[in-house]
Each structure stands twice: as C-alpha cells, then as structure tokens.
Amino acid sequence: MRITINGEVTQTRARTLEELCAALGHGLDKIATARNGDFVPVTQRASTLISENDSIEIVAPRQGG
C-alpha cells in the first residue's frame, strides 16, 4: 500500500498506525502521530487503520525557540 510518511512517499504492509510505528522501529519511543492532518492519540493507534494514500506524521521532541 502506498502512503506518505513525514512527507515521503513509501510502501507499507502495516494495517494500523501502531503496526506502522513498530515497523519503522519506533517501538516504545516517545513519539506522537497524526493521520491526514488529524492528531491520533497513542491510545488510538492500534485501532486507526491505514488506507491507501494516507498521509502520516510521526514526530518527536526537538529543540525549539
């Protein structure tokens, strides 16, 4: 399935957002996610299905001003 992760088009077999994060090696990392512009809380990743052409954001803490 073709999706976009953090602005880059890629292929995935993950069915849910939780599976996708795990496949990307994030495991227990402190990350937050959004699907198609909407925030997806960690508690909803397992029930959030990935669809063709979805746009996923995966973010982590970073320096800021």
Partner 1 sequence: MLEFYGTHIGSRLLTGTALYPSPQILCDAVIASGSKLVTVSVRREAARSRSGQGFWELIKQLDVHVLPNTAGCKTVKEAVTTAQMARELFETNWIKLEVIANDDTLQPDVFGLVEAARILNDEDFQVFPYMTEDLGVAEKLVAAGCEVLMPWGAPIGSGQGLANPLAMRTMRSYFPDIPLVVDAGIGKPSHAARAMEMGYDAILLNTAIAKAGDPVKMGMSFAKAIEAGRLAYEAGLMEPRDMASPSTPVAGTPFFKIDSAS
**Which positions touch partner 1 (CB under 8 A)?**
5-7, 24-26, 29-34, 37-39, 41-42, 57-65
Structure tokens that stand for 28 in this block: 């227990």
Give whichever of 5 and 19 is closer to partner 1, judged by the CB atom.
Answer: 5
User: Residue 26 burial (CB < 10 Å; 0-12/13-18/19+)?
Assistant: middle
CA 65, CA 46: separation in Å to the nearest integer? 33
Give whichever of 7 and 13 is closer to partner 1, judged by the CB atom.
Answer: 7
Give whichever of 52 and 64 is closer to partner 1, judged by the CB atom.
Answer: 64
Specify the DSSP element, H or E, that contains 18: helix 17-23
Minimum separation from the CB atom of position 40 to partner 1 (A): 9
Minimum separation from the CB atom of position 52 to partner 1 (A): 20
